[in-house]
Amino acid sequence: MLLLLLAAAGALMAADQPLSFSHAAHIEKARMQCTDCHSGAKTRDNAGIPSIRRCMACHQFIATDRPEIGRLAAYWEKQREVPWLRVYGFSKDAAVQFRHAPHARAEIECARCHGDVASMTVAVPAVVHTMGTCVQCHRDNSASDDCVACHF
């Protein structure tokens, strides 16, 4: 389920997520960091979509009176994960092997590839991930532009 990608590249469609999660509320209001939930973004290949355990670590106590949090708690009580839809990702045809960790170590801001998620309610693919986007940034940062840097 998590592997469902937004098909049309560039189409600024908001995924029809199972809960109306607001990135802005968490980042701008609650002052959270991206890595608080996407914990692999700086250290692993995949940033990761948080498990419901992580949501409930806070929401067992915070904002429990809100209806959306009630729906979240319903998943929790049924011992189900929230079937979030993945917003970013490369299609299998692209034969791209992307790793988050080296990009984070090179101090590339999350927003460089993911847009200003902090001000979004539902995350949308604001930055189009074409090969041009990647190669231009690699060249600007004197990273490798060898084909096999990404395609293997």
Partner 1 sequence: MPEGSTEAESGTQRRTPQWGMAIDLDRCTGCEACVVACSSENNVPTAGEDQSAKGRAMHWIRIDRYYEGDFPNIRVRHRPVLCQQCDEAPCEPVCPVNATYQNAEGLNVQVYNRCIGTRYCAINCPYTVRFLNWYPPEWAEPLGLQLNPDVSVRPAGVVEKCTFCVQRIKRAKLNAAAEGREVGDGEVQPACVQSCPAEAMVFGDLSDPTSRVAHLANSRRAQRLLEELGTKPRVFYLERAD
- Tell me how far apart the terminal alpha carbons of the chain are, to the nearest angstrom: 25
**Dihedral through CA 60, CA 71, CA 82, CA 62, nearest 10?**
-20
Residue 148 touches partner 1, criterion: CB under 8 A: yes
> Residue 69: phi, psi to the nearest 5?
-65, -30
- Choose one: 29-37, 61-69, 74-82, 137-145; the region binding partner 1 (CB under 8 A): 137-145
Binders in 91-130 for partner 1, by CB under 8 A: 92-97, 99, 101-102, 105-107
Query: Which residue is associated with the tokens 């701008």?
Result: 28
Can residue 152 be called a binding residue for partner 1 (CB under 8 A)? yes
Query: Scanning residues 11 to 50, which ones bind partner 1 (CB under 8 A)?
Result: 43
Comparing CB distances to partner 1, the nearer of 74 and 131 is 131
Q: Which residue has the tokens 């994960």?
A: 81
Q: Which of residues 49-68 bind partner 1 (CB under 8 A)?
A: none
Phi-psi region of 114 (alpha: psi -120 to 50; beta: other; left: phi over 0): alpha
Nearest residue to 99 (alpha-carbon basis) of 42, 136, 31, 46? 46
Q: Which range binds partner 1 by CB under 8 A, 13-21, 48-56, 65-73, 139-147?
A: 139-147
Count of chain residues binding partner 1 (CB under 8 A): 24
CA distance 129 to 58: 33
Cβ proximity to partner 1: between 44 and 71 the closer is 44
Of 73 and 101, the one with the shorter C-beta distance to partner 1 is 101
Residues lying near partner 1 in the complex (CB under 8 A) are found at 43, 92-97, 99, 101-102, 105-107, 138, 141-144, 146-149, 151-152
